Structure 1
């Protein structure tokens, strides 16, 4: 097992969000904790294709989009500005929700962007730590402590 500071939690979080996983995958070497990128055409070194099943590495499977959607819904529900909360919640209805939510924030509520980024990032890092723990790369107690020490930001600042 490794210490959490052995990993770039933002990179692991990015891998968990990456929905273009058909021709590229992020993997972790369980011996070193190193994060590596595999591509369909170039394998690990960019030149020699290799089948994923032949590697002794742990693939990071992306989490389904509804996980990330729920972050947007939770943010919209809890943000301190009632009008912003309502409009962001409306933006999440139907297809194209991710784009509409982002556009709504950038165009109508740019003052909420720092809160959104902090909220999104802390949740993504907690998921990265959970993934590391689930894959026995760090201890469960370490993961629980990290999660307890990194709660969601206070969204009432957006009032």
Structure 2
């Protein structure tokens, strides 16, 4: 049985993308991918992207800021992981730096210290070196700066 792919007019695709962007902040890469999945031709994709930008449905700076604040507050990611994930989404260096600047150093270090206290107590490992390794791996994976992680590991796990 031949499956026919759904095709969209420019208006239909534009409306669909307006809803897609209104539902949640999106980056250009996600929108282009979605349009490509909808089998839109490159010329149509360009027209729709321009429309979304002009009508403020798509805004890289706003996307970067909401992405950073969400992942920092909810997933407790460090600056390195946030930067890496934004680069994966083709966000420019300027927007990444602006978004990261929204996190105050006090909040950043405060959250890091709270998380490290909890994690150090929750690791059930008697061998100090293994415990320290688990601790370090946990925070490096979440993108916290290595100098912070190593200093804190040696401070908390003796």
- TM-score > 0.5, shorter chain as reference: no
Q: Whose relative contact order is higher, 1 or 2, with alpha carbons under 8 Å and at least 6 apart?
A: 1
- Identify, as 1 or 2, the structure richer in helix: 2
TM-score band (shorter)?
A: under 0.3
TM score, norm. by length of structure 2: 0.25
TM score, norm. by length of structure 1: 0.25
- Identify, as 1 or 2, the structure richer in strand: 1
Larger radius of gyration: 2
